Every structure is written in C-alpha cells, then in structure tokens.
C-alpha cells in the first residue's frame, strides 16, 4: 500500500490539521522525507500553503482539535504552527495546554530550528533581538492610523507577536487595540 493510501486510510480521507476533504496531498514533516507514513501527514491545499507562514488565523483555530491527534507527525505540525502563531493569545493558550512526548518534542523543535533563518530576525532600536512574547517600550510618539489615537513614548507593549505580515514590524496591543509596530521605534524591556 502506498504512503498516500496509508494516510488516506489513517485520516479518513480528511486533512489531518483542519479536516477539509478537498485537494489533499502528502506532506513530509521535516527533518524527514516522505519515506514512511509515520513521518508524513495528509494536508489540504490551504494548510500546505499557510504552513510556512501562517496568515489566516481563523483557519488555524482548527489546531484546537488536531493538536490532540495521536499521530506524532500531526502533533509536530500542530505544535510548530502554534509556535509560529504564539503572538496571538488563543494560540499561546493552546500551546501552553499541549503536551508532547520528549522524543516528539525534540522532533518538533528540531524542525522549527531548521526553518528559522537569520533574515527573519527582528532587532529593536538598540540592535537587541526580539522574540515572541517579549515586552517592548515605544521610544517615540506614534500616530496609529485608523484607530484615532497616538501611542505615547514610554508605553510598554507586552507579549509581542512576530508573525506580523509586514516586514520589520511586530504585533502588540496598545490601548486595547491590536496594532503593528515598526521595530525601529521599539526598545526591548
């Protein structure tokens, strides 16, 4: 039986992350190749497209269910995706609830490190590396377009997210509003 047939049987012909039934294909989970079904998952086109850089946060709420899947490969992809979305409070909550066996955790972390590259590193105004969950201080009054207020110098923004869709920006809450902030106007606390 081919790997695709094994995965179709295992997943009941559904995407193993979001349960979609259309446009399914085999995806190897790094650092493994598609040498066996236990190192692969069956994903829909949307999950495959969004996997490297999750943008549609509503789509990824499906991880609330798939993170409990008994297949290690599915658990690894769910953990990695939640990690990439950890700037969002709901994703961080799911990540905090998730438990992986030690060898599965190593697999998940190993692949995440490989996917990281230095071009995605964000540095604050002092050249300090910013990471998801950090707290930063705004160093200049910033007009917030569309929200009708000014983010004042000295405002502390806690639990920033690095999954911002704009290069050189991080996501954070100021005055209860989720906004994108240019890293050149931030200082890590």
48-87 residue pLDDT tens: 988 888 888 889 999 999 999 999 999 999 999 998 888 8
Q: Are residues 130 and 161 in the same domain?
A: yes
Shared domain check, 75 and 17: yes
CATH of the domain at 134: 2.30.30.40
Band (pLDDT 50/70/90 cuts) for residue 120 is low
Q: Are residues 156 and 87 in the same domain?
A: no
Going by the DSSP 8-state scheme, the letter that residue 116 receives in this structure is -
Q: Pick from 99, 116, 133: which residue ends a domain?
A: 116
What is the per-residue pLDDT for 115?
Answer: 47
Give dist(CA 103, CA 34) in Å, integer.
Answer: 19
Note whether 112 and 127 are same-domain residues: no
Q: Tell me the average pLDDT across 34-47.
A: 89
d(CA 24, CA 145): 40
Measured from the Cβ of residue 54, the count of other Cβ atoms closer than 10 Å reads 19
Together in a domain, 93 and 176: no
Higher pLDDT, 169 or 120: 169
Pair 7, 80 in one domain: yes
What pLDDT, on the 0 to 100 scale, is given for residue 114? 47
Instruction: Please determine, for residue 35, whether its predicted confidence score (pLDDT) is greater than 80.
Output: no
Domain identity same for 21 and 7: yes
Look at the chain and report how many structural domains it folds into: 2
Report the alpha-carbon distance of residue 120 to residue 112 in Å, rounded: 13
Q: Among 146, 122, 142, 143, which Cα is nearest to 134's?
A: 122
Q: Is there a contact between 52 and 115 (Cβ–Cβ < 8 Å)?
A: yes
Which pTM was predicted? Answer: 0.60
> Domain boundary at 92, 116, 140, which?
116
64 contact partners, CB below 8 Å, separation of at least 6: 94
Residues 155 and 85 both lie in one domain: no
**Alpha carbon of residue 21 to chain centroid:** 23
Which domain-ending residue is among 116, 148, 173? 116
The domain of 61 spans: 3-116
* Range scoring the smallest mean pLDDT among 15-19, 59-63, 115-119, 137-141: 115-119
Across the range 92-114, mean pLDDT stands at 85
Backbone angles phi, psi at 13, to 5 degrees: 60, 40
């Amino acid at each position: 039986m081919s790997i695709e047939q094994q995965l179709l049987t295992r997943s009941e012909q559904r995407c193993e992350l979001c349960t979609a039934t259309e446009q399914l294909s085999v995806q190897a989970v790094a650092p493994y190749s598609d040498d066996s079904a236990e190192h692969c998952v069956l994903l829909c086109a949307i999950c495959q497209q969004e996997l490297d850089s999750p943008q549609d946060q509503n789509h990824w709420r499906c991880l609330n269910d798939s993170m409990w899947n008994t297949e290690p490969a599915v658990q690894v992809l769910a953990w990695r995706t939640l990690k990439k979305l950890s700037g969002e409070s709901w994703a961080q909550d799911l990540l905090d609830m998730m438990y992986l066996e030690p060898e599965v955790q190593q697999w998940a972390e190993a692949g995440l490190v490989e996917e990281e590259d230095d071009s995605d590193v964000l540095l604050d105004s002092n050249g300090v590396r910013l990471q998801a969950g950090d707290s930063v201080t705004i160093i200049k009054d910033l007009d917030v377009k569309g929200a009708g207020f000014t983010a004042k110098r000295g405002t502390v923004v806690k639990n920033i997210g690095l999954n911002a869709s704009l290069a050189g920006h991080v996501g954070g809450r100021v005055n209860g509003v989720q906004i994108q902030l240019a890293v050149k106007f931030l200082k890590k606390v």
